[in-house]
Structure 1
Amino acid sequence: MKITQVKLGRISTPLRVPFKTALRTVSSVEDVIVELHTDTGAVGYGEAPPTGVITGDTTGAIIGAIRDHIAPAILGRGLDEFEDLTAAVQKALVHNTSAKAAVDMALWDLLGQKYSAPVYRMLGGARSNIVTDITISVNPPEEMARDARTAIQRGYDCLKVKVGIDPELDVARLAAVREAVGKDVKLRIDANQAWNAKQAVRILDQMQEKGLDIEFVEQPVPAADLEGMQYVTRHASVPVLADESVFSPADALRIMQTGAADFVNIKLMKCGGITNALRIASAAEVYGVECMIGCMLEAKISVNAAVELACAKKIITKVDLDGPVLCSEDHILGGAVFNEKNITVSDAPGMGIQGFVPGKVTYLDD
């Protein structure tokens, strides 16, 4: 099986409601689609979202990175040299992790098809079903409470609540959400780097003193401030999950070695795909650090790849793969089944993606 063509396209999917964090507001998913065609007729699928405020990757940058750098490094090569292929993707250029992730997952898709096996079984096969949380965007407290009630009505029992815009309101936001959903629903919060270390400890302690029972806080301080995150981890009454601070296996290893966070978030778009995500998971297994699997605002192809990894590895104990259920439409055929909080991985060879609803992908070469 040799790669004969790298085909690029774009897909647009509206969200049910605008997605608001401390960093941005988004109303639709606008992603780059990758298809790796082969001489056997098999096609591997990948996807990359332009998340400039986190990864630095814009739509144009993703397209340029794949077309001008990554594609020439893999065209004409066979799947039998798989390790060299995935290494070539990572070495094709520096940074550009979303572009690398899209091509890397497409390669894993092809490998599974080549050997007629689902990717999650090839990687470990720990389970076939997982349960995700759902994100509550940062808004005025009463609006967040309403959104939280809606999520509970849809069957969710774990909410990831965005905070960080006007930090002095964050305690009121969480209090409103907790009152709306009751004591049995898990609440985890994501500050998206919005606080400084001492501010984080103060806000988190206030939340716990009010009995808001926060499961953990995601990335409370700026990504580069590992000392600040370590301070929060040591002094706050809420466990800390590192997210934007983790772009590579080396980043994850440094956090584990220094105790800068209690948990590590694995996102394919930040680490460059499944290949590097496996390295992070392996380090976590050695250090005994539980992981969450997360996503950006992504459609089903790339989140499906994250589902394959989550179903493969027991060290991934927390799931934040709500991208497809935040969308108002699903333009992708096949793959995992997203039934609100319940996600069931596909048992089809590779990653089970079968293509797209006609007319929903705009191919760049057409």
Structure 2
Amino acid sequence: MKIKEINVWKADLELTRPYTIAFKTVSAVENVLVELVAENGLTGIGAGNPSKEVVGEALSSTWAALQPENLEWLKGRDLREYQLLCEELAVKFPKNPAARAALDIALHDLFSKYLGVPLVSFLGQQLKELPTSITIGIKNVAETVEEAEEYVGRGFTHLKVKTGETVEQDLERLVKLREVFGQKVTIRIDANQGYTATDLETFCARSANLNIELIEQPLKAANIDDLRALPAAVKDLVAADESLLSPYDAFKLASAPRACGIFNIKLMKCGGVYAARQIATVANLSDIDLMWGCNDESIVSISAALHAAFSCANTKYIDLDGSLDLARDVVSGGFTIENGIMRPNGKIGLGVERLAELV
């Protein structure tokens, strides 16, 4: 079955709740969407939402990469060669992981539809459900508690709190959350490269009684050797994010002495499901747990990440709340979520349905 047509368009999806992290405030989500059309009429959809701060790719670069003249090589190709096509994406678009992700996700959606199964079934489903964390940006104590109360009221049990300004301010917010909610909620933090190694050790020592589940990317992305030098108990809590952009980075982080105990895989960093599962294999062979994260993204790419996550037995954490605060999206479906627990919806491919009126 051959690929007959490729459609590409943009969607600017506003957030219902803008938020602040260590280096920016986000109020809208810029996406590039890709639709692959097979000769029998089947379609596959993919989405790319680049992160310039993390991978150096702006939306304009993603859009330029996905222009028709750069996609001619894919037209007429046999979908049954999809693994080869996924490998070729890395060669064709070496500096555009979001562009790769959009095409990779569309290929996976289309191929699993061709097989007539959900993507997670094709990949080999290992997990049925997991609770996702939901993110609280950098706010003052009162605003942090107010937002947490809203999420807990909606049934969420796992909160990810953005930190990284100062250890004192971060601890003040987290202590208050424990005072208000006790052990009813699981707390993760994401410092977004905001700490030094000294800050991190101080934070861990002073937060020992707060039962923090994990600490995402506490140090600058390049400071891998500083992570390696940390005590094992601290490293085990660390989830590498901005330090982990590719399977090659996974090998570096996992090499002895390993730099972290958790890999945070994001499709927009590594270029899609195919590369993400390569990273997952490195993690599995290195006794490293998996966390699957996201940017603010369409249900399209969130669903792809969920399917990939549930195909890996070493997936222990998901942070796939990126579509929950969108004021609108280009598709519906993809997954179910109840009291913060996410599951694929059981439909073929990604399980999404395109909303034509919103493209």
Q: Distance in 2 between matches of 1:31 and 1:268?
A: 13
Q: Once the 2 structures are TM-superposed, how far is the Cα of residue 167 of structure 1 from its aligned partner?
A: 4.3
The sequence identity of aligned pairs, in percent, is: 32
What is the aligned partner in structure 2 of residue 293 from structure 1?
A: 292
Q: Once the 2 structures are TM-superposed, how far is the Cα of residue 238 of structure 1 from its aligned partner?
A: 6.9
What is the aligned partner in structure 2 of residue 346 from structure 1?
A: 345
What is the aligned partner in structure 2 of residue 29 from structure 1?
A: 29
What is the aligned partner in structure 1 of residue 259 from structure 2?
A: 260
Q: Once the 2 structures are TM-superposed, how far is the Cα of residue 287 of structure 1 from its aligned partner?
A: 1.6
Call closer, same or farther: CA 1:109–1:317 in 2, change over 3 Å.
same
Q: Is the 8 A contact 1:233 1:260 kept in 2?
A: no
Amino acid across the alignment from 1:248: S
Matches within 5 A, 1:1-366: 1-67=1-67, 70-208=70-208, 211-232=209-230, 234=232, 236=234, 239-258=237-256, 259-339=258-338, 341-356=340-355, 358-361=356-359
Q: Distance in 1 between matches of 2:75 and 2:190?
A: 40
What is the aligned partner in structure 2 of residue 364 from structure 1?
A: none
Q: Is the 8 A contact 1:201 1:235 kept in 2?
A: no
Q: Once the 2 structures are TM-superposed, how far is the Cα of residue 141 of structure 1 from its aligned partner?
A: 1.6
Amino acid across the alignment from 1:153: G
Q: Once the 2 structures are TM-superposed, how far is the Cα of residue 309 of structure 1 from its aligned partner?
A: 0.9
Q: Is the 8 A contact 2:128 2:343 kept in 1?
A: yes
Post-superposition CA distance 1:97-145 (Å, at most 9, x none) = 1110110011011110111111101111113333211111111122111
Q: SS where residue 4 of structure 1 aligns?
A: strand
Q: SS where residue 183 of structure 1 aligns?
A: coil
Q: Distance in 2 between matches of 1:32 and 1:182?
A: 42
Q: Once the 2 structures are TM-superposed, how far is the Cα of residue 232 of structure 1 from its aligned partner?
A: 3.6
What's the RMSD between the two structures over aligned residues?
A: 1.8
Q: Once the 2 structures are TM-superposed, how far is the Cα of residue 166 of structure 1 from its aligned partner?
A: 4.0
Q: Once the 2 structures are TM-superposed, how far is the Cα of residue 355 of structure 1 from its aligned partner?
A: 1.0
Post-superposition CA distance 1:67-119 (Å, at most 9, x none) = 26752331221112222211111110322111101100110111101111111
Question: Deviation above 6 Å: which 4+ runs of structure 1?
Answer: none
Q: SS where residue 66 of structure 2 aligns?
A: helix
Q: Is the 8 A contact 1:204 1:238 kept in 2?
A: no
Amino acid across the alignment from 2:111: L
Indicate the larger mover: 307-316 or 166-175: 166-175
Q: SS where residue 77 of structure 1 aligns?
A: coil
Q: SS where residue 303 of structure 1 aligns?
A: helix
Call closer, same or farther: CA 1:53–1:233 in 2, change over 3 Å.
farther
Call closer, same or farther: CA 1:199–1:9 in 2, change over 3 Å.
same
Q: Is the 8 A contact 2:34 2:106 kept in 1?
A: yes
Q: Is the 8 A contact 1:12 1:30 kept in 2?
A: yes
Indicate the larger mover: 303-312 or 174-183: 174-183
Q: Distance in 1 between matches of 2:10 and 2:140?
A: 34
Amino acid across the alignment from 2:244: V
Q: SS where residue 52 of structure 2 aligns?
A: coil
Amino acid across the alignment from 2:266: K
Q: Distance in 1 between matches of 2:234 and 2:131?
A: 27
Q: Distance in 2 between matches of 1:46 and 1:217?
A: 30
Indicate the larger mover: 253-262 or 159-168: 159-168
Call closer, same or farther: CA 1:110–1:212 in 2, change over 3 Å.
same
Q: Distance in 2 between matches of 1:156 and 1:235?
A: 28
Amino acid across the alignment from 1:215: E
Using structure 2 for the length normalisation, give the TM-score: 0.94
Q: Once the 2 structures are TM-superposed, how far is the Cα of residue 329 of structure 1 from its aligned partner?
A: 3.7
Q: Distance in 2 between matches of 1:66 and 1:338?
A: 32
Q: Is the 8 A contact 1:303 1:321 kept in 2?
A: yes
Indicate the larger mover: 180-189 or 219-228: 180-189
Q: Is the 8 A contact 1:268 1:277 kept in 2?
A: yes
Q: Distance in 1 between matches of 2:38 and 2:240?
A: 38
Q: Distance in 2 between matches of 1:268 and 1:160?
A: 19
Q: Distance in 2 between matches of 1:199 and 1:288?
A: 27
Q: SS where residue 324 of structure 2 aligns?
A: helix
